[in-house]
Amino acid sequence: MNRTLLRHKGWTWGFRSTVLLYFLLLIVLPIAGVYVNSFSEGWAAFVQNISDPIAWKAVLLTLKLALIATVINVLIGTMSAWVLVRYDFAGKSLLNSIVDLPFALPTAVGGLMILVLLGPNSWMGKLADTLGFQFVFHQPAIIIAMVFVTFPFVIRAIQPLLEEMDHSAEEASYTLGASKRDTFFRVILPSMSPGIISGAMLAFSRALAEFGAVVLVAGNIPGRTLTASVYIFGEVESDNEAGAAAISVILLTLSFLILWLINAVQTRRTR
Amino acid sequence: MRKYWIPLTWIVFSILILIPLAVLATGAFDKGTSGFIAALSRPEARHALMMTGLIVLVVTILNGLFGIMMGIYLVRGTWLSRRVRQLFNSIVDLPYAVSPVIGGLMIVLLLGPDTVIGTFFEQIGFKVVYAFPGMVIATLFVTFPLMVREVMPVLQELGNDQEEAASTLGAYSWTTFWKVTWPSIRWAVIYGTILTVARSLGEFGAVLVVSGNIINKTQTATTLVYQDMENFNVTAANGVALVLAIFSVGLLLLMERAKKRKGVH
Amino acid sequence: MHLEVRNLDKHFGQFHAVQDVSFNVQKGHLIGLLGPSGGGKTSILRMLAGLESPDSGDIIFHGQKVNQLPPQEREIGFVFQNYALFKHMTVFDNIAFGLTVKKMKKPAIKERVQELVELTGLAGFEHRYPHQLSGGQRQRVAFARALAPEPQLLLLDEPFAAIDAKIRQELRTWLRELIERVGITSIFVTHDQDEAIEVADEIMIINGGRLEQKGTPWDIYKQPSTPFVASFIGESTIVDEVSLLKGFDHEQSHPGIHALIRPEYIEVGHASEFPFLSATEKGTVKHLHFRGSQWLVEVQVGQHSLITYRSLEKETLEIGQSVHVMVHRAYLFNDQESWIAENRLKQDTLSMFI
């Protein structure tokens, strides 16, 4: 009875339509909505919304901080991936498991951890204070939050490449007279670079979009510590939805571009 | 070289992950165990944790089912043309690129009280934005790609030889699915489920925008942490955050176990 | 380069991979290391290259001990089994690699690479990437890359293993000619005896980490010095009850003796085809397989089933037919010793006629 029911054409058709409708309503409609909404009051209103200096300064600042965070992640991520794949040492499997913790941890909790660790009442915060600078509510904390949240991307993108890398390519390089240094820069690094690039782009786009960890540690000073996502939140809170939508469109378009680039890099690699 | 690299890696991991976790844990207990218990037994804390639990439950079920089906259709759905599948395939990833705040804003723009759809729902006595349904929708949006992206590669790698073999042996599609396809994607589905749970547990930006963060009504665990911090109630924030962190670590351990088994065997 | 290896020994954990191996290689010779998989051939090759270090024993190039020398300084070329080409580099850059790391001048590199590209027949492929090449072409690139820095010794690990059977034949001849032309001392590892016999000046049979025999292919075939070598090279049937073989029954005085008989040592036919009928035994044709240029005959003699070939020129046999079988020669061995014995009855009759 159950089988004949499920084999019935009408059921199949209804089932498929439901899934596709769910997908379109959930994903496509809201994204389209934001674009439509930001242009709903015309091109001029859109331009006016994004030419608000606070708005574009927020976008520029976010780009700058996300870039710094990405560079840091490329450096420490490449090193960590290398150490986790190539060396055996006590605690290796522990480190390998907690790489993903920033993914699993709520971003607000991540932000809170940074705030508690580096905040004005912590000993680190006090130490920094006596040295004449501050983490929290200033740019360093935002960068740290971004680095924390995007930490796994570069490592996880490089690790499989390093693991499946042909060991004999390295040996071939040695037999051809190349030193360890030469071999690293000429043979190993180039095979890691697709992972570094796609990991870095993922990290960058995630850092651009990050809100939870950043909102807790950012200081909301326009042009200095107000990031785009925090700015958007502020606009929503103050009921300026059109302004929020305009900035969202810029940030979204940027992110989609990066996403498209990542896909392009990955298809080139698999080809 | 390894003499320097290994300690350096330890230092990076310690500064970025281990020490902050430890500080969070000690912070939750800086007024003793009673402080921790007090933070959690506040009515708003209990309500927030319950809201988070409900969202996780609803979102995981919905996106789990629809995610698996979407993954299968994108790989096997020959009734859709190749181009359409490719287009849908790239759309699936979009929520990854969308800042959670923007995700929340989208829901507000679409279903908020000032919109046509929002007014319609309001009239039939159904509040979407600043209420539970909106929070669920926002979380659904953010977590949709997770399951699809876990199921798809396994199905692709598996190929449809086995399914074709099953059909030549007389099995109909439903039987084929349960006896052949499902056992192969089972671990990918488990992994995708854990990811969805983790992400919906921790969702903050989208929910904050959509919920309005109303105490005892639409507040979730993460937005409560935010509000506690805004109110400089650090111990309480640490307490709730620690509960969330413990869940996350537990999910991470599950992820580690599932990861080893999710490939094609 | 003259190469000498003395008492080489290597363990991998509990596994004794190479056991007390010693040999000499003349300058300009092409040596094949032949043996079953896991026998230690590749380990020997890798120790020569400096990619593994021996537990004990010496490796001597030109009278100089090189044990402590890293691979970079040994002046060797190594062709890996899977070629290990640098995937992100073009054919040109792959071949030029060894020269660039030596900081050679650009024009000189270009000239040398060009020379090798022509030598290996890769002209026109310089700007392709490894994944755009066929298996045979990749092999040539690997070969050219190894030769580019003008090494003193060329080491090749299963150079033809990953190539289609059809092209393999072609490449073997090509490689042999090329090595002759370049005049470089070379050692290659293989588990394929045809390959070793065809390409190498000298073969070293390696089994269980030991060097079983070293010699020209013909010497090894003719005069195997251990039962392993005898059974590994060529086709053969082992006969446990030597006393039942006519012409070899006197050998049974040796305890625990076995005989190894190659198909070409056996003649099968009608009574009229044998001048010395007394040296033959009676058998029954069990199976006949057509092998293109000849018949493969499986013949039952007593309790033994022997394999031999029969020319197409001769009268065709039939299954079940009773025939005469003569064993001309056998390789006899027991636990202590091994030797080659001729059919005594055949010799006796011969001497009678003389």
Chains B and A touch (3+ CB pairs under 8 A): yes
Same domain, C34 and C159: yes
Query: Nearest-CA residue of chain C relative to A171?
Result: C51
Same domain, C245 and C220: no
Residue C308 is encoded by which pair of tokens?
């031999």
Q: Rank C90-99, C191-200, C280-289 by mean pLDDT and report only the highest.
A: C90-99
- In angstroms, the CA B64 to CA A19 distance is 12
pLDDT bracket for residue A4 (50, 70, 90): low
List, in order, residues 6 or more apart from A191 with CB less than 8 Å away: A161, A165, A169, C87, C88
Chain B CB contacts of A122 under 8 Å are 23
- Percent of chain C residues topping a pLDDT of 90: 32
- Cβ–Cβ below 8 Å for C87 and A191: yes
- Provide the pLDDT for residue A269: 62
- In angstroms, the CA A15 to CA A41 distance is 39
* pLDDT over 90 at B214, yes or no: no
- Cβ–Cβ below 8 Å for B202 and A33: no
- Cβ–Cβ below 8 Å for B98 and A102: no
- Of A114, A118, A120, A122, nearest to A215 by C-alpha is A114
- Per-residue pLDDT tens digits for C193-239: 888 888 899 999 999 999 999 999 888 888 888 888 888 888 888 88
Distance, in angstroms, between A238 CA and closest chain C CA? 53
Nearest by CB: A107 against B204, B234, B238: B204
Residue A119 is encoded by which pair of tokens?
């905040």
- Per-residue pLDDT tens digits for C298-339: 998 888 888 898 888 888 888 888 898 888 888 888 877 888
A256 touches chain C (CB under 8 A): no
Same domain, C82 and C183: yes
Distance, in angstroms, between A166 CA and closest chain B CA? 21
Question: Which of B49-63, C57-71, C126-140, C334-348 is predicted with the least confidence, judged by mean pLDDT?
Answer: C334-348
- Sheet holding C185-190: strands in order across? C76-79, C153-157, C185-190, C30-34, C202-207, C210-215
Q: Is there a domain that residue C33 lies in?
A: yes
Same domain, C73 and C222: yes
Q: Do the beta carbons of residue A253 and residue A259 sit within 8 Å?
A: no
Distance, in angstroms, between B44 CA and closest chain A CA? 18
pLDDT bracket for residue A1 (50, 70, 90): very low
From C201, C226, C251, give the residue that closes a domain. Answer: C226
Mean pLDDT for chain A overall: 86
Chain B CB contacts of A201 under 8 Å are none
Interface of A with B in 126-145 (CB under 8 A): none
- Provide the pLDDT for residue C354: 40
Which CATH number characterizes residue C186's domain?
3.40.50.300
pTM of the complete model: 0.81
Same domain, C258 and C348: yes
- Provide the pLDDT for residue A40: 77
Question: Which of B127-131, B247-251, C87-91 is predicted with the least confidence, judged by mean pLDDT?
Answer: B127-131
Chain B CB contacts of A7 under 8 Å are 172-174
Chain B CB contacts of A33 under 8 Å are 106, 109-110
Q: Is there a domain that residue C253 lies in?
A: yes
Domain count, chain C: 2
Question: Is residue A50 helix, strand or coil?
Answer: helix
Q: Is there a domain that residue C327 lies in?
A: yes
Alpha-helical runs (H) found in chain A: 2-7, 9-23, 29-38, 42-50, 53-86, 92-98, 101-104, 107-118, 123-130, 139-164, 167-175, 180-183, 189-209, 212-217, 228-237, 241-270
Chain B CB contacts of A110 under 8 Å are 20
Which residue type does C192 have? Answer: D
pLDDT bracket for residue C108 (50, 70, 90): very high
Distance, in angstroms, between B120 CA and closest chain A CA? 17
C143 touches chain A (CB under 8 A): no
Q: Is there a domain that residue C348 lies in?
A: yes
Task: Say if residue B131 is exposed, middle or buried (CB neighbours under 10 Å; 0-12, 13-18, 19+).
Answer: middle
Please, what's the b/e burial string for B50-73 (b: 16 or more CB within 10 A of its CB; e: otherwise)? ebbeebbebbbebbbebbbbbbbb
Residue to test with chain A: of B85, B87, B91, B101, most A Cβ within 10 A = B101
Chain B CB contacts of A86 under 8 Å are 2
Question: Is residue A120 helix, strand or coil?
Answer: coil
Q: Is there a domain that residue C231 lies in?
A: no
Average pLDDT estimate for A181-197: 90
A97 touches chain B (CB under 8 A): yes
- In angstroms, the CA C168 to CA C161 distance is 8
Same domain, C63 and C195: yes
- Per-residue pLDDT tens digits for C45-94: 999 999 999 999 999 998 889 998 899 988 899 999 888 899 889 999 99
Distance, in angstroms, between C53 CA and closest chain A CA? 14
List, in order, residues 6 or more apart from B247 with CB less than 8 Å away: B201
Same domain, C161 and C283: no
Average pLDDT estimate for A121-138: 79
* pLDDT over 70 at B175, yes or no: yes
- In angstroms, the CA A211 to CA B107 distance is 17
Q: Is there a domain that residue C251 lies in?
A: yes
Interface of C with A in 96-115 (CB under 8 A): 97-98, 101-102
- In angstroms, the CA B58 to CA B71 distance is 20
Nearest by CB: A182 against C80, C101, C148: C101
Q: Is there a domain that residue C142 lies in?
A: yes
Same domain, C268 and C214: no
User: How many Å is the Cα radius of gyration of chain C?
Assistant: 25
Interface of A with B in 212-231 (CB under 8 A): 212, 215-216, 228-229
Task: Say if residue A27 is exposed, middle or buried (CB neighbours under 10 Å; 0-12, 13-18, 19+).
Answer: buried
- Cβ–Cβ below 8 Å for C49 and A172: no
Which CATH number characterizes residue C270's domain?
2.40.50.140
Average pLDDT estimate for C118-133: 91
From C226, C253, C283, give the residue that closes a domain. Answer: C226
Chains C and B touch (3+ CB pairs under 8 A): no
From C196, C226, C256, give the residue that closes a domain. Answer: C226
* pLDDT over 80 at C27, yes or no: yes
Nearest by CB: B16 against A82, A151, A210: A151
Q: Determine the structural domain holding residue C156 and report its residue range.
A: 3-226
Q: Is there a domain that residue C106 lies in?
A: yes
Distance, in angstroms, between B257 CA and closest chain A CA? 10
* pLDDT over 90 at B49, yes or no: yes
- Provide the pLDDT for residue C353: 46
Q: Do the beta carbons of residue C263 and residue C328 sit within 8 Å?
A: no
List, in order, residues 6 or more apart from B241 with CB less than 8 Å away: A106, A108, A109, A112, A113, B24, B28, B225
Distance, in angstroms, between A87 CA and closest chain C CA? 18
* pLDDT over 90 at C10, yes or no: yes
List, in order, residues 6 or more apart from B107 with CB less than 8 Å away: A30, B128, B129, B134, B137, B138, B141, B206, B209, B210
- Provide the pLDDT for residue C336: 78
- Provide the pLDDT for residue B173: 74
- Provide the pLDDT for residue C198: 86
N residues, chain A: 271
What's the per-residue H, E or C state across chain C? Answer: CCEEEEEEEEEECCEEEEEEEEEEECCCCEEEEECCCCCCHHHHHHHHHCCCCCCEEEEEECCEECCCCCHHHCCEEEECCCCCCCCCCCHHHHHHHHHHCCCCCHHHHHHHHHHHHHHCCCCCCCCCCHHHCCHHHHHHHHHHHHHCCCCCEEEEECCCCCCCHHHHHHHHHHHHHHHHHHCCEEEEEECCHHHHHHHCCEEEEEECCEEEEEECHHHHHHCCCCHHHHHHCCCCEEECCHHHCCCCHHHHHCCCCEEEECHHHEEEECHHHCCCHHHCEEEEEEEEEECCCEEEEEEEECCEEEEEEEECCCCCCCCCCEEEEEECEEEEECCCCEEEEECHHHHHHHHHHC
- In angstroms, the CA B197 to CA B55 distance is 9
- Cβ–Cβ below 8 Å for A174 and C70: yes
Average pLDDT estimate for B82-102: 87
Interface of A with B in 41-70 (CB under 8 A): none
- In angstroms, the CA C353 to CA C335 distance is 37
Same domain, C249 and C331: yes
- Provide the pLDDT for residue A196: 92
- Provide the pLDDT for residue A8: 62
